[in-house]
Protein backbone atom coordinates (compact mmCIF):
# COMPACT_ATOMS: atom_id res chain seq x y z
CA UNK A 1 0.00 0.00 0.00
CA UNK A 2 1.08 3.55 -0.73
CA UNK A 3 -0.25 6.62 1.07
CA UNK A 4 0.49 10.19 -0.06
CA UNK A 5 -0.34 13.01 2.33
CA UNK A 6 -0.72 16.66 1.26
CA UNK A 7 -0.17 19.19 4.00
CA UNK A 8 0.61 22.85 4.60
CA UNK A 9 2.58 21.74 7.70
CA UNK A 10 4.48 18.61 6.65
CA UNK A 11 6.82 19.08 9.64
CA UNK A 12 3.98 17.90 11.87
CA UNK A 13 4.12 14.52 10.14
CA UNK A 14 7.86 13.97 10.37
CA UNK A 15 7.69 11.89 13.54
CA UNK A 16 4.74 9.52 13.54
CA UNK A 17 5.85 7.15 10.78
CA UNK A 18 9.55 7.01 11.70
CA UNK A 19 9.23 4.79 14.75
CA UNK A 20 8.14 1.41 15.94
CA UNK A 21 5.63 -0.64 13.96
CA UNK A 22 5.06 1.74 11.05
CA UNK A 23 8.77 2.29 10.59
CA UNK A 24 9.41 -1.46 10.43
CA UNK A 25 6.47 -1.90 8.03
CA UNK A 26 8.06 0.61 5.67
CA UNK A 27 11.49 -1.00 6.01
CA UNK A 28 9.95 -4.37 5.15
CA UNK A 29 8.43 -2.79 2.02
CA UNK A 30 4.86 -3.50 3.17
CA UNK A 31 3.86 0.10 3.23
CA UNK A 32 4.97 3.49 1.90
CA UNK A 33 4.01 6.85 3.37
CA UNK A 34 5.02 10.03 1.53
CA UNK A 35 4.34 13.46 3.00
CA UNK A 36 4.26 16.39 0.55
CA UNK A 37 4.24 20.10 1.20
CA UNK A 38 1.38 22.01 -0.37
CA UNK A 39 3.68 25.02 -0.22
CA UNK A 40 5.43 23.61 -3.32
CA UNK A 41 2.19 24.34 -5.19
CA UNK A 42 1.61 27.78 -3.65
CA UNK A 43 0.89 30.77 -5.88
CA UNK A 44 3.33 33.53 -6.78
CA UNK A 45 6.48 34.70 -5.12
CA UNK A 46 5.11 34.09 -1.63
CA UNK A 47 3.77 30.63 -2.45
CA UNK A 48 0.35 31.71 -1.27
CA UNK A 49 -1.98 28.95 -0.11
CA UNK A 50 -4.82 30.70 1.70
CA UNK A 51 -7.05 33.71 1.24
CA UNK A 52 -9.92 35.57 2.92
CA UNK A 53 -13.28 33.91 2.70
CA UNK A 54 -15.94 35.33 0.41
CA UNK A 55 -18.71 36.97 2.39
CA UNK A 56 -16.36 37.95 5.19
CA UNK A 57 -15.75 36.29 8.53
CA UNK A 58 -12.78 35.23 10.59
CA UNK A 59 -10.35 32.64 9.33
CA UNK A 60 -8.55 32.01 6.09
CA UNK A 61 -9.52 29.41 3.51
CA UNK A 62 -7.21 27.08 1.59
CA UNK A 63 -7.36 28.27 -2.01
CA UNK A 64 -8.64 26.21 -4.88
CA UNK A 65 -5.77 26.54 -7.32
CA UNK A 66 -2.76 25.30 -5.30
CA UNK A 67 -4.74 22.36 -3.93
CA UNK A 68 -6.09 21.45 -7.38
CA UNK A 69 -2.60 21.66 -8.83
CA UNK A 70 -1.25 19.42 -6.07
CA UNK A 71 -4.02 16.84 -6.38
CA UNK A 72 -3.72 16.73 -10.17
CA UNK A 73 0.05 16.40 -9.94
CA UNK A 74 -0.32 13.25 -7.85
CA UNK A 75 -3.35 11.77 -9.63
CA UNK A 76 -1.49 12.05 -12.95
CA UNK A 77 1.17 9.74 -11.50
CA UNK A 78 -1.07 6.97 -10.19
CA UNK A 79 -4.64 5.92 -9.74
CA UNK A 80 -5.87 6.56 -6.18
CA UNK A 81 -8.56 4.36 -4.68
CA UNK A 82 -9.70 7.21 -2.46
CA UNK A 83 -8.88 10.90 -2.09
CA UNK A 84 -9.56 11.58 1.57
CA UNK A 85 -10.08 14.94 3.26
CA UNK A 86 -9.50 15.07 7.02
CA UNK A 87 -12.16 17.36 8.48
CA UNK A 88 -14.23 17.54 11.68
CA UNK A 89 -17.45 17.43 9.63
CA UNK A 90 -16.50 14.17 7.90
CA UNK A 91 -17.70 10.63 8.63
CA UNK A 92 -16.56 9.59 12.10
CA UNK A 93 -13.63 7.16 11.84
CA UNK A 94 -14.19 3.65 13.18
CA UNK A 95 -12.68 0.19 12.86
CA UNK A 96 -14.79 -0.98 9.86
CA UNK A 97 -13.65 2.10 7.88
CA UNK A 98 -10.01 1.33 8.78
CA UNK A 99 -10.48 -2.32 7.77
CA UNK A 100 -11.93 -1.30 4.42
CA UNK A 101 -9.20 1.25 3.71
CA UNK A 102 -6.46 -1.23 4.64
CA UNK A 103 -7.46 -3.27 1.57
CA UNK A 104 -6.79 -0.41 -0.86
CA UNK A 105 -3.63 0.07 -2.90
CA UNK A 106 -3.17 3.84 -3.14
CA UNK A 107 -4.63 6.54 -0.89
CA UNK A 108 -4.22 10.30 -1.15
CA UNK A 109 -4.95 12.27 2.03
CA UNK A 110 -5.50 16.02 2.12
CA UNK A 111 -5.07 17.68 5.50
CA UNK A 112 -7.32 20.66 6.12
CA UNK A 113 -5.97 23.84 7.68
CA UNK A 114 -7.11 27.35 8.50
CA UNK A 115 -10.89 27.58 8.22
CA UNK A 116 -11.01 24.70 5.72
CA UNK A 117 -10.65 24.28 1.98
CA UNK A 118 -12.63 25.96 -0.78
CA UNK A 119 -15.77 23.84 -1.00
CA UNK A 120 -15.24 23.19 -4.72
CA UNK A 121 -12.24 20.95 -3.89
CA UNK A 122 -14.55 18.78 -1.82
CA UNK A 123 -17.14 18.70 -4.58
CA UNK A 124 -14.81 17.85 -7.44
CA UNK A 125 -11.94 15.79 -6.03
CA UNK A 126 -12.60 14.38 -2.59
CA UNK A 127 -14.08 10.87 -2.46
CA UNK A 128 -14.15 10.45 1.35
CA UNK A 129 -14.27 12.90 4.25
CA UNK A 130 -13.11 11.60 7.61
CA UNK A 131 -13.28 13.00 11.14
CA UNK A 132 -11.40 11.40 14.03
CA UNK A 133 -13.93 12.63 16.59
CA UNK A 134 -16.25 15.39 17.66
CA UNK A 135 -13.63 17.96 18.58
CA UNK A 136 -11.69 20.44 16.49
CA UNK A 137 -7.93 20.27 16.06
CA UNK A 138 -5.83 23.00 14.53
CA UNK A 139 -5.25 21.02 11.34
CA UNK A 140 -5.75 17.69 9.63
CA UNK A 141 -2.17 16.45 10.16
CA UNK A 142 -2.68 14.70 13.51
CA UNK A 143 -5.95 13.17 12.26
CA UNK A 144 -4.11 11.95 9.14
CA UNK A 145 -1.44 10.37 11.36
CA UNK A 146 -4.17 8.64 13.38
CA UNK A 147 -5.76 7.30 10.20
CA UNK A 148 -2.46 6.09 8.71
CA UNK A 149 -1.49 4.35 11.95
CA UNK A 150 -4.88 2.64 12.25
CA UNK A 151 -4.69 1.42 8.64
CA UNK A 152 -0.98 0.53 8.62
CA UNK A 153 -1.14 -1.89 11.53
CA UNK A 154 -3.84 -3.90 9.73
CA UNK A 155 -1.70 -4.66 6.68
CA UNK A 156 -0.68 -8.31 6.43
CA UNK A 157 2.77 -8.87 7.93
CA UNK A 158 2.94 -5.53 9.76
CA UNK A 159 2.18 -6.87 13.23
CA UNK A 160 4.50 -9.62 14.44
CA UNK A 161 1.65 -11.93 15.26
CA UNK A 162 -0.45 -12.04 12.09
CA UNK A 163 -3.64 -12.57 13.99
CA UNK A 164 -3.27 -9.98 16.70
CA UNK A 165 -5.07 -7.14 14.91
CA UNK A 166 -8.10 -9.41 14.65
CA UNK A 167 -8.36 -9.46 18.43
CA UNK A 168 -8.16 -5.70 18.88
CA UNK A 169 -10.93 -3.80 20.56
CA UNK A 170 -13.75 -3.01 18.10
CA UNK A 171 -13.12 -5.97 15.80
CA UNK A 172 -16.32 -8.03 16.47
CA UNK A 173 -17.86 -4.92 18.04
CA UNK A 174 -16.32 -5.91 21.38
CA UNK A 175 -13.77 -4.12 23.52
CA UNK A 176 -10.63 -6.16 24.21
CA UNK A 177 -10.45 -8.15 27.48
CA UNK A 178 -7.95 -7.14 30.20
CA UNK A 179 -4.39 -8.46 29.90
CA UNK A 180 -1.77 -9.42 32.52
CA UNK A 181 1.89 -10.39 32.62
CA UNK A 182 4.46 -11.50 35.22
CA UNK A 183 4.50 -11.47 38.19
CA UNK A 184 1.27 -13.41 38.78
CA UNK A 185 1.07 -11.80 42.22
CA UNK A 186 2.29 -8.34 43.29
CA UNK A 187 1.44 -6.67 46.63
CA UNK A 188 -1.31 -9.23 46.96
CA UNK A 189 -2.84 -8.24 43.62
CA UNK A 190 -3.45 -11.54 41.92
CA UNK A 191 -3.71 -12.01 38.17
CA UNK A 192 -6.72 -14.20 37.28
CA UNK A 193 -5.69 -17.80 37.90
CA UNK A 194 -7.39 -19.08 34.77
CA UNK A 195 -4.80 -17.25 32.64
CA UNK A 196 -1.93 -19.26 34.12
CA UNK A 197 -3.87 -22.55 34.18
CA UNK A 198 -2.77 -23.73 30.73
CA UNK A 199 -6.42 -24.59 29.98
CA UNK A 200 -6.82 -22.85 26.63
CA UNK A 201 -10.54 -23.35 26.20
CA UNK A 202 -11.14 -21.94 29.70
CA UNK A 203 -8.89 -18.99 28.84
CA UNK A 204 -10.78 -18.33 25.61
CA UNK A 205 -14.10 -18.47 27.46
CA UNK A 206 -12.85 -16.15 30.22
CA UNK A 207 -11.58 -13.64 27.66
CA UNK A 208 -14.85 -13.65 25.78
CA UNK A 209 -16.86 -13.13 28.98
CA UNK A 210 -14.58 -10.29 30.06
CA UNK A 211 -14.79 -8.63 26.63
CA UNK A 212 -18.57 -8.86 26.73
CA UNK A 213 -18.79 -7.54 30.29
CA UNK A 214 -16.42 -4.66 29.55
CA UNK A 215 -18.38 -3.75 26.43
CA UNK A 216 -21.71 -3.84 28.30
CA UNK A 217 -20.31 -1.63 31.05
CA UNK A 218 -18.42 0.88 28.93
CA UNK A 219 -19.82 0.85 25.42
CA UNK A 220 -23.28 -0.75 25.32
CA UNK A 221 -23.86 1.14 22.06
CA UNK A 222 -21.46 -1.28 20.33
CA UNK A 223 -23.69 -4.22 21.22
CA UNK A 224 -26.83 -2.44 20.03
CA UNK A 225 -25.27 -2.18 16.57
CA UNK A 226 -24.84 -5.96 16.37
CA UNK A 227 -26.96 -7.69 13.69
N1 LIG B 1 -9.29 18.66 11.47
C2 LIG B 1 -9.56 19.36 12.58
N3 LIG B 1 -10.22 18.63 13.48
C4 LIG B 1 -10.38 17.41 12.90
C5 LIG B 1 -11.00 16.21 13.32
N6 LIG B 1 -11.61 16.10 14.51
N7 LIG B 1 -10.98 15.16 12.48
C8 LIG B 1 -10.39 15.25 11.27
N9 LIG B 1 -9.81 16.37 10.81
C10 LIG B 1 -9.80 17.44 11.62
169's CB contacts (< 8 A; 6+ apart) are 175, 176
> What does the domain layout of the chain look like in residue ranges?
2-152, 169-224
For ligand 1, mutation pick of 128, 140, 144, 149 (most atoms within 8 Å of CB)? 140
Judge whether 130 and 74 are in contact, CB under 8 Å. no
Split at pLDDT 50, 70, 90, the class of 226 is low
**The predicted structure's pLDDT at residue 162:** 56
pLDDT of residue 201: 98
pLDDT band at 168 (very low <50, low <70, confident <90, very high): confident
- CB-based contact 49:66 (threshold 8 Å): yes
Residue 39 pLDDT greater than 80, yes or no: yes
Does residue 144 contact residue 23 with C-beta atoms inside 8 Å? Answer: no
Question: What pLDDT is recorded for position 225?
Answer: 67
Q: Which range is least confidently modeled, 33-47, 136-150, 170-184?
A: 170-184
Going by pLDDT thresholds of 50, 70 and 90, the confidence category of residue 7 is: very high
Q: Look up the pTM and report it.
A: 0.92
Task: Report the CATH architecture of 169-224.
Answer: Orthogonal Bundle (1.10)
Any ligand 1 atom below 6 A from CB of 132: yes
For ligand 1, say whether the CB of 116 is within 6 Å of any of its atoms: no
> What was the pLDDT predicted at 115?
85
| Per-residue pLDDT, 227 | 54
Answer whether CATH 3.40.1280.10 is correct for domain 2-152: yes
Q: Is the CB of 140 under 6 A from ligand 1?
A: yes
Average pLDDT, the chain: 94
Amino acid sequence: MRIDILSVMPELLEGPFQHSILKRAQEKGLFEVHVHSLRDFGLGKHKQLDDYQFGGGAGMVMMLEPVVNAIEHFTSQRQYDEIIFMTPDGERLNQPICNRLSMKKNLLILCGHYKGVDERIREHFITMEISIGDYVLSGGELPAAVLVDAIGRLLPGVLGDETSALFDSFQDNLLAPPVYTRPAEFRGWQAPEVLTSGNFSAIEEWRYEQALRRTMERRPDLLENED
